[in-house]
Structure 1
Amino acid sequence: MAHTDWPDHTAPLSPLPTVALLKLARMLCGGNPITVHCSAGIGRTATFVGIDYAVQKIYQSDKVSMIDVLKDLRNQRLHAIQSPIQYAFLHLCVLEVFIEVQQSDQIAWL
């Protein structure tokens, strides 16, 4: 699978395709880890992994600190999430998932 509409150092205009890709990846992985990589592995990759990580935290405890997500990512990968727009996009995607969860009262694809 590939997310071809995601320019380097920035973010897509809408969170919907990224959330859809995450859902598909989660469903296809069957509970196994998802392998993700972009050119450097710190911008788009870290943002995508951050979305998945934050969603997992919401699923486990109904709350998440986005700054803690960023800190955890950067403890594992220096400079993870390269730009303010990627950090904002992380929030948008997590908000989109949260809205879906509130409307359906479940996350079937986790």
Structure 2
Amino acid sequence: MNNAKLNIIAWPDQSCPDIVHPLIELVKNVEKSRVDLPDLNKCSGPVVVHCSAGIGRTGCFIALSNGIKQLDTEHTIDIVRILCDLRRDRGGMIQTNDQYQFVYQALSEYARTLQSSS
């Protein structure tokens, strides 16, 4: 089994990164690695995301990943629906208002990059 561990060390618990672009790039790179290595994906299983409690930073990463996929495929986004779906699966995902605002800001910036490139 092949696996890789990626660690973000500049993201304190119950807070947000100072800038959104590195996290957007990380999410895109994780997805790109899955697409570029389809045979490996059959053996490697899902992407596992975790933080200390498994709901704050983890929720932000997953919400951002789901939002980027939705923007790429549907060219629209429903952030509230993404959050509700996450919280249905695991209560408390995205712990703070700041984290919610961070996800919103990151997805807004990603949407702007899509608009400017088309």
Give the shorter-chain TM-score range: 0.7 to 0.9
Q: CA RMSD in A?
A: 1.4
TM value normalised by structure 1: 0.87
Point out 4+ residue stretches in structure 1 off by more than 4 angstroms: none
Aligned residue for 1:108? none
Separation of aligned partners in 2, 1:36 and 1:96: 23
Unaligned runs of 5+ in 1: 106-110
Answering whether residue 29 of structure 2 is matched by residue 24 of structure 1, we say yes
Query: What's the CA shift for 1:39?
Result: 1.0
The answer to which of 90-99 and 6-15 deviates more is: 90-99
> Is it true that 1:52 corresponds to 2:57 in the alignment?
no
Structure 1 residue 72 corresponds to structure 2 residue 85: yes
Q: Specify every segment of 5 or more residues in structure 2 that has no aligned partner in the other structure, as ranges.
A: 1-5
Larger CA deviation: 63-72 vs 26-35: 26-35
Aligned residues: 105
Pair member with larger Rg: 2
CA contact 1:43–1:80 (8 Å) conserved in 2 = yes
